[in-house]
Every structure is written in C-alpha cells, then in structure tokens.
A and B are shown apart, each in its own frame.
Chain A
Amino acid sequence: MLPVLVVHGGAGHIPKERSEKSTAGVCSAVRAGYAILQGGGSSMDAVVEAVSELENNPSFNAGCGSVLNVKGEVEMDAIVMDGKTLGSGAVSAVRCIANPVQLARLVMDKTSHACLTAEGATQFASAMGVPTVPQESLITEYSRIEVTEIHEAGRTVFTKEGKMG
C-alpha cells in the first residue's frame, strides 16, 4: 500500500496577490501530513495534522483567516471521518478556538454524537481542555477588508464565486 495525502485550500477566485501564499500553504500542509504517513502514522492523524496547519495559516478561510459573518464575527465548522469504522465527528458555528478540526476529532473520539454546535460545542471544548482564543486572533486584516467592502457596497456577497465557503 502506497500512502497518499491530498489537501485543498478552497475553491473559488483566488486573487493574484494571494496565489503564491495559497500554493505555499497547501504544499506545507501536505508535507506535514505526509510526514506522519511516512512514519507509519494513521490517515486520521495525517488529515488532522494537514488541516490544522491550514487552519493556522491566515491565507485560508478556516481557523485564523476565517471570513466574517454579517455581524463581523467568526463562526467555524469542521468534520472528520474515519473510513475504517465510519466514525465521524463534527462541530458547527463554533467560536474562539484555534483548531475546529481537532475539536471535531474529539467529538468523534469522546462522544456518541456526530455533531455538536454553537454554545454546546464551546462547552464541550472547555470540558476537553481545549483552550479558547480571543476572537480577534482569528480575524485577519484581509477578512475585515472583505466584509467592509461588501457592507459599503450595500451587497450581501461579492460575486457568485464570493458565495463559496
């Protein structure tokens, strides 16, 4: 069996000034996850490592760098799934944690549920010892500019591509 890891950093229109950082980011995430596979680690560990790295990279719309909602706030969603057991875990509308994908994995590993949302997800994170982070630490200048331009233009979204999550 030849291990393989594939990642994506999101679909849509990627502005030219962000394309190099986006490409570098996915390559770095692939290297991090693939190193786990090369060391005999599991596919679950590899995908969580790769996605965590992408969440920590402000060039991507997840974790630090998440787009803002209509109130200028960050609400994040994540899922993991294990193909051996069909086990899965997810969180939705979660706030103030750095790595929602790691919380999703805890939902899979530590609960009998498939998805925890909003305040319940936050309470679960606290119970699991996942540290909270200030919302400001997840918001980038680019995200602020994007949502400000939409509000100033009186629109709900930029373009068809802008609707993508």
Chain B
Amino acid sequence: TVGAVAVDSDGNIACATSTGGMLNKMEGRVGDTPCIGCGGYADNKIGAVSTTGHGEAIMKVTLARLILFHMEQGQSVEAASDLGLAYMKSRVDGLGGVVTVDPQGHWAARFSSPQMSWGAAQKDTLHYGLYTGE
C-alpha cells in the first residue's frame, strides 16, 4: 500500500491511498483502502490521514477517522496517530501505519508494524525513515 497527505498554500488538505491489497487474497477481497474513513480521510477543519497495514483491522476501527477524532479532541498529530494505532492493536490485534497532517501543517509518520517507509517535505527540507525513531 502507498499513500500521501498534503496541505497546500491555500490551506486545503487532501489524501490519497492506493494498494494491490493483501498477498494471496481471495478474488474480490476489498480491504480498507477504498473505504472512506478507513484507508484515508481528509477534512480542512481537522486534518488528513492515509493508512496502511492489516486492512480488515483498519476497517473495524475506521482508523483514519478515529485518528482525526482524537485530533478534534485536541490531540497532536503524533499523539492522535499513536492513539489510533494503539487502539487498533489492543482491540483487534491489528498492526499498521499512518501519515497524518493538520491544517497548521504539523505532520506525523507513525507505525506499529516493524517498519514503514515514509517521506515528508516541508520548508524545502526532506525527511524520511524506515524504522521506528527515524
């Protein structure tokens, strides 16, 4: 799965996610990616999230919208992302990762899986990582 979130100079926010799905899946299986609030969500008033990971688990907790709910409650992008991923792990034993932005341009790339490749650009600076803590 791949995905992106962005805030432009007008303050508009968007997300996109795309996937080949799950290895050896049944024909016709559809996971979280094309489901609003699961594979992604964007709202100028709150922020945007793109997700990756255990698709069925992400769907059960509507991970993207759950993270934005935590942001609506005042959590930072990092804290909200971690709270959403922790809830998914504790409730449905699911692992995954997210990229998140808020309307002020704060961003996060967080994951509960062993690895997630990610990259970010802001103020002409490129950030990237693969392991926790990078």
Chain A positions near chain B (C-beta within 8 angstroms): 1-14, 19, 22-23, 25-27, 29-31, 33-34, 37-38, 40-44, 46-48, 50-51, 54-55, 60-63, 65-71, 73-84, 86, 88, 90-93, 99-101, 104-105, 114-115, 117-118, 146-147, 150-151, 156-158, 160-165
B-side binding surface: helix, strand, loop or mixed? strand
Interchain CB contact under 8 A, B117 and A78: no
Interchain CB contact under 8 A, B18 and A43: no
Interchain CB contact under 8 A, A71 and B3: no
Query: Given that A46-B14, A79-B34, A101-B18 are contacting pairs, would A69 and B97 also be in contact in the complex, using a CB cutoff of 8 Å?
Result: no
Shortest Cβ gap from A1 to chain B (Å): 5
Chain B positions near chain A (C-beta within 8 angstroms): 1-36, 39-45, 47-48, 50, 52-55, 95-101, 105, 107-109, 111-124, 126, 128, 130
Query: Given that A79-B33, A82-B42, A90-B34 are contacting pairs, would A10 and B116 also be in contact in the complex, using a CB cutoff of 8 Å?
Result: yes
Query: Given that A73-B27, A78-B19, A84-B12 are contacting pairs, would A43 and B119 also be in contact in the complex, using a CB cutoff of 8 Å?
Result: no
Interchain CB contact under 8 A, B105 and A3: yes
Residues of the A chain whose Cβ atoms lie less than 8 Å from the Cβ of B36 = 79, 81, 88, 90, 114
Residues of the A chain whose Cβ atoms lie less than 8 Å from the Cβ of B111 = 11
Nearest residue, chain B, Cβ from A146: B23
Residues of the A chain whose Cβ atoms lie less than 8 Å from the Cβ of B3 = 7-8, 51
Query: Given that A54-B2, A164-B22, A165-B21 are contacting pairs, would A81 and B15 also be in contact in the complex, using a CB cutoff of 8 Å?
Result: yes
Interchain CB contact under 8 A, B29 and A69: yes
A161-B123 Cα distance, complex, nearest whole Å: 34
Interchain CB contact under 8 A, A163 and B17: no
**Would you give 5 A-B contacts (Cβ < 8 Å), ordered by A?**
A11-B116, A47-B15, A79-B36, A83-B15, A147-B24
Interchain CB contact under 8 A, B8 and A165: no
A41-B54 Cα distance, complex, nearest whole Å: 33
Nearest residue, chain B, Cβ from A59: B117
Interchain CB contact under 8 A, B2 and A79: no
Query: Given that A12-B53, A158-B23, A165-B32 are contacting pairs, would A3 and B8 also be in contact in the complex, using a CB cutoff of 8 Å?
Result: yes
